[in-house]
Each structure stands twice: as structure tokens, then as C-alpha cells.
Structure 1
Amino acid sequence: MENGVEKKSGINFKIVLITLLFLAAIGAGAYFGYNKFLKGSSKSPNVVAQNNSSSVQTQQTSSQGNSSSSSYLQQVVAKYTFDLGDFTVNLADEGGKNYLKISAYLGYDDKKLNEELTDKKPMIRDAVIDILRTKKVSDINPKYMDNIKMQIIQKINPMLENGRLNNVYFDDILTQ
């Protein structure tokens, strides 16, 4: 009889151990999934900046600096790029004497998105201009560029039906 009791307690110990390992694996997966996918898609600061074009709100959003979006954009390398061309816009500084000249490319992974981007290029360029015109000279520096890129992605992605953008690349940046 004692052997029967020892076998049963050994089986119970294995079940408890397997259950704990399973729960630990689920917890680790949930933690990784949250940090990788959900934490970077927090839209509240960027949506405020998009919906309210006042320069005060935009400056506050830019000065917060979204470190999770920054790390996301630095990790993502798109398969394909789409050339939006050059943009020359007046910046939102006092007096309106400062301007920005920039070349932009959209990054994406789905090849079928190229045709849609070509068809919607005027609307996309208008969306990018809307975002860039709300910036000040102080916003155009490496510290805030990833925030600007995320704003562009979040404004353009709802326009697209055949895929999603995953990055924005700037080739030339000139402010004066």
C-alpha cells in the first residue's frame, strides 16, 4: 500500500509542477506581448496632438517624448518604401519666418500597398503637411523625430485598406 501512496503523491507533485510552469509561461507571454505590442500603441498623447491643432498642445505632446514608439521605430525595418517627395512647409513659430524642408519615405511590408499609396498620394501628402505645419523649430531635432513619425503613421494608416505602414524615413531635413 505504501508504494501506491508514494506513486500518487509523486504524480500530484508532477501535476502541480507542470501547472506552475504552464502559468509562468503564460505570464511571461502576456508580459512580453503587452510590452511589445500594446504598450507602443498607446494613442492618447498622439491623438490629442492630431485632433487639436493648437501649437501649445502639440508642443506638450512633443516634449513628452514617447520612448516606446521611439524604440519600436528603431527596431522596424520595412521591406518596401514609398517616396512621398520633398515637403517645404512654414513652421508654427512666432512670426512665421521659419520653414522646414524635408524628404519623406513611407515604410511598409505588404507589396500590394504600393498601388494604393500611389493612388492616395495627394491625400497622404496633405496629411503629412498638416502634421509638419504644427511643429516648431525646437520640435525638429533627433529627440522628437520618432514622435513625428508616429504621428504620421497614425494619421495615414486609417486611410489605407490594403495594408499598414510600419515606419517613416526622412532623407533630408533642413530648417531655417
Structure 2
Amino acid sequence: MAEKVKKEKAEGSKGNILKIIIIILLIAVLIAGGTAAGYIFATKMKPSQTTTATNQAAVNIKTFSLDEFLVNLKADNTSGYLKTKIYIGYDGDNKDYKNLPTELEDKKPILRDAVNSILRNKKTTDFNEAGVEQIKKEIKDRINPLLKEGQIENVYFYDIIVQAQ
């Protein structure tokens, strides 16, 4: 009887060792598969050489800060406030624009006044995604005629905080 118990324990421990080995092999296969899948996914997401070359050939955009704006918005039935910081961007590689930074600095009060007049005529509901793009276009269209040394390419909102009351 004692011999039978020893024999069962020996067979049981061999079964346990076999189960542990199978589990370890399964874990190793899962880790290897996950690593391979991650590598394949990462290489597909990596930009190609042509994309990188295109990005390097892109325009060198320089920015100029028009500082912070705090304005009352046009009221419907409620009043609202807008607090934002705006930057304007221009082509930094364009040799014709070499005096543009000086002109922007000299005309900063005029540019801020133009932007203020646009922002004061907006409602709180105008500051959605499509509305902000329209506001950027209005600002660009208002500022460019004021400039003689170059043109701005884009308008960037650093912060936009709208409070409706």
C-alpha cells in the first residue's frame, strides 16, 4: 500500500511538472507573438522616408505673438467673455519677408485693434471648431492688407477660454 502511494505521488509530480512546462511554453509563445505583432504594428505606423523628406522640405513657419486678448463678446440674451492668446505665422524662409518681424512689432497696436474688432463682434456660439476656423480666416484677411513687408500664412490660437453668463 505504501508502495502504491509512492507510485501515485511520483506520477502526480510528473503530471504537475508537465503542466508547468506547458504553461511556461504557452507564456513564452504569447510573449513572442505579442512582441512580433507590436513590431509589425510599429513599423507600419512609422513614417516612410518620402514623408520625412517632404516634411523637411515644408515651409519654415515663424510665429509672432499678438499677446493675450480679453474681450466682451456680442450679446444675444446673455453676455460672454473671451480670453485668448493669438499668434500669427509667416514664412520664415521667404527672403522677401526679412523685414516682416520688424513691421509686425511696429504695427502690433494696429494689428491688435484689428483682431479686437473681430473678436468683439463674435458670439459665444461662434467658438466651435468650424467657427474658430472662420475667425482665423477673418483675422488673416484683416491683417494682411495692413502689411507691406510680407503676408501672414496662418493664425494660431494658443488658448481659448469662453465664458457665457
TM-score of the aligned structures, taking structure 1 as reference length: 0.54
Q: Distance in 2 between matches of 1:115 and 1:133?
A: 27
Pick one of 101, 119, 123 that aligns with 2:106.
Answer: 119
Structure 1 residues 96 and 115: CA distance shift in structure 2, 3 A = farther
Q: Per-residue deviation at 1:79?
A: 1.3
CA shift, 1:95, in A, is 5.1
Match of 2:86 in 1: 104
Q: 2:70 aligns with which of 81, 88, 92?
A: 88
2:153 match: secondary structure? strand
Specify the alignment match of 1:50 in structure 2.
none
Q: CA deviation at 1:142?
A: 1.1
Distance in 1 (alpha carbons) for counterparts of 2:78 and 2:100: 36
State whether residues 78 and 107 of structure 1, in contact with CA within 8 Å, keep that contact through their aligned partners in structure 2: no
What secondary structure sits across from 1:148 in the alignment? helix
Aligned length: 101
- Post-superposition CA distance 1:129-167 (Å, at most 9, x none): 000001000001112111100100111111100000110
- CA distance in structure 2 between the aligned counterparts of 1:97 and 1:174, rounded to whole angstroms: 14
Residue 145 of structure 1 is aligned with which of 128, 132, 135?
A: 132
- C-alpha separation in 1, matches of 2:143 and 2:131: 19
Relative to its length, the structure with more helix (as a share) is: 1
Moved over 6 A (4+): none
Matches within 5 A, 1:46-57: none
Q: Which runs of 5+ in 1 are unaligned?
A: 1-75
The answer to whether the Cα contact below 8 Å between 1:77 and 1:167 also exists between their aligned partners in 2 is no
Inter-partner Cα distance in structure 2 for 1:111 and 1:90: 36
Select 1:170's aligned residue among 143, 157, 161: 157
What residue in structure 2 maps to residue 23 of structure 1?
none
1:94 aligns to what SS in structure 2?
coil
Structure 2 unmatched ranges of 5 or more:
1-57, 92-96
TM-score (structure 2 length as normaliser)? 0.58
- C-alpha RMSD of the superposition: 1.6
